[in-house]
Amino acid sequence: MAKVKTKFSCTECGYESPKWYGKCPGCQAWNSMVEETESIVKTQGMGSSLLTHSTKDKPLPIIEVESGKEARILTGIGELNRVLGGGVVPGSLVLVGGDPGIGKSTLMLQTSNELALTGLKVLYVSGEESVRQTKLRADRLGALSPNLYVLCETNLETIEEAVDSLKPEFLVIDSIQTVYLPEVTSAPGSVAQVRECTSRFMRIAKGLGIATVLVGHVTKEGAIAGPRLLEHMVDCVLYFEGERHHTYRLLRAVKNRFGSTNEIGIFEMAESGLREVANPSELFLSERPLGVAGSTVVASVEGTRPVLVELQALIAATHFPSPRRMGTGIDHHRMGLIIAVLEKRMGMFLQNQDAYLNVAGGVKLDEPAVDLAIAVSIASSFRDAPTKPYDVIFGEVGLTGEVRAVSRAEQRVREAEKLGFKRVIMPEKSLKGWTHPKGIQIIGVATVADALAAALD
């Protein structure tokens, strides 16, 4: 007979224990241990269980292993292809996470339809919506390819039977938290269910060569719900980000075994579904005010794509002993560092001033090349001196007030020229090694003082 055993598993690292802990001994996370029940069946010959998965492959020297590029399946959506590294790899397991209502199901249904239009057989499994609801969404999106098959099911064994009979080239599971395995006694969405179901889908993807996409819910902290082990099992983890009050969405890769993790895809939400944004810089700068103190344009690079965004700073006198330092879309610790440099090296008295910094449009910038634009924005607001409306600024700022070189300077400058900007203020050391375009003035600076003199003169 099966013996029921109770254990506690950590939702962050998968650590298992026979008793509950307030603090996980494995990853030191608080309140992450949840109770699970499992059935144990006594069998004979367990000592030879490892041999059941053995293969005839022998260890090979790495120099004898044949190397080659992975075959790619173009999804028909350029932004998604960019984030994935050139397309979907057959047999790969991709995890897509995002806030509720952000557009994960819409993106996956549009991707499934585009692949089905190329002649591929696609199976879309929905565990949250009925077939009729999925059809209503497909009518709105125009996703009506005859090669797109829809299944409303949460039982993993039934899904496996459908995959075995249909033999699709592309499989979407929406969402992994709703799928359950009858052999596991835990409820759907629990740590044990998510872990076991993902393991089964991984074997399906690798064994049958089916490109599989799992849609996952996220917690209130923004992480994908379920055990942290889930992100380690898949080949690619994508986060679909955006604000409900904005029409655009960002698709960002945080793990990719077949490509870069620095790429982003930008979409605009419309009534007919998600539309690709071919020129994100123009979108982010469309509502930029001209001749306003504290507003600057910075050239940032996301992966291989240069993006121009607006930085807005507001410096106001504080009525509290400790001034506030708030940043939206930027690391506030980096913001505090730049303020300290301006106080020490430029003589600006900011200790009695509140500082607010915002990246317009809700974009998140985390590269050091935005340091110089932050410094110019803060100085512009503090002195109430507007910057020139057609200037682009980028560069890394050191603690001694120097401006350091940044990568991909040529791409940043050419993106600024394409959008009609007249001047670029950039690190002096980044001027070498490439041909400067003639349609834009380039000013190289070595210190923050030089940059302020050029931008606020």
* Per-residue b or e along 212-248, where b marks 16 or more CB atoms closer than 10 Å to that residue's CB: bbbbbbbeeeeebbbbbbbbeebbbbbbbbbeeeeeb
Q: For residue 195, is it within any domain?
A: yes
Is residue 51 exposed (0-12), middle (13-18) or buried (19+ Cβ within 10 Å)?
A: exposed
By residue range, what is the domain housing residue 133?
72-278
CA 384 distance to own-chain centroid: 36
| 220 and 316 both lie in a single domain | no
Are both 316 and 180 inside the same structural domain?
no
Which CATH number characterizes residue 359's domain? 3.30.230.10
Give per-residue pLDDT as tens, 182-220.
Answer: 988 777 887 888 888 999 999 999 999 999 999 988 766
Quickly tell me which residue has 């293969």 as its tokens: 55
Residues 6+ positions from 37 with CB-CB distance below 8 Å: 4, 5, 6, 7, 185, 186
Q: Are residues 186 and 210 in the same domain?
A: yes
pTM comes to 0.76
pLDDT in tens, 77-135: 999 999 999 999 999 999 999 888 888 999 999 999 999 999 999 999 999 899 999 99
Which CATH number do you get for residue 156? Answer: 3.40.50.300
Annotated binding site: 98-105
Residues 205 and 302 occupy one common structural domain: no
Instruction: Name the domain count of the chain.
Output: 3
Q: Specify whether 167 is located in the same domain as 207.
A: yes
Q: Which of 278, 307, 336 is the last residue of a domain?
A: 278
50 within a domain of the structure (yes/no):
no
Residues 291, 265 share a domain: no
Binding residues for ATP: 98-105
Q: Which of 241, 263, 278 is the last residue of a domain?
A: 278
Residues 28 and 8 in one domain: yes
Do 132 and 230 share a structural domain?
yes
Least Cα distance to 9 among 234, 233, 226 occurs for 226
Same domain, 342 and 388: yes
Q: What is the pLDDT along the chain (457 residues), one digit of tens a residue?
A: 456 677 888 877 778 888 889 998 888 888 888 877 765 444 444 333 333 344 456 888 988 887 767 789 999 999 999 999 999 999 999 999 988 888 899 999 999 999 999 999 999 999 989 999 999 999 999 989 999 999 999 999 999 999 999 999 999 999 898 999 998 877 788 788 888 899 999 999 999 999 999 998 876 666 666 666 788 889 999 998 876 667 788 898 989 998 888 788 889 888 888 999 878 888 788 888 888 999 999 999 987 789 999 999 999 999 888 999 999 989 989 999 999 999 999 999 999 999 999 998 778 888 999 999 999 999 999 999 999 999 999 999 999 999 999 999 999 999 999 999 999 999 999 999 899 998 899 999 999 999 999 999 7
271 and 331, same domain (yes or no): no
Considering the domain boundaries, does residue 434 fall inside one?
Answer: yes
Give residue 321's identity as a one-letter amino acid code: P
| Token pair for 257 | 């075994």
Q: Is residue 272 part of a domain?
A: yes
Residue 57 lies in a domain: no
Whether residue 87 is contained in a domain is answered as yes
Same domain, 19 and 168: no
Task: Tell me, yes or no, whether 205 lies in a domain.
Answer: yes
For residue 230, being part of any structural domain is answered with yes
Same domain for 106 and 244: yes
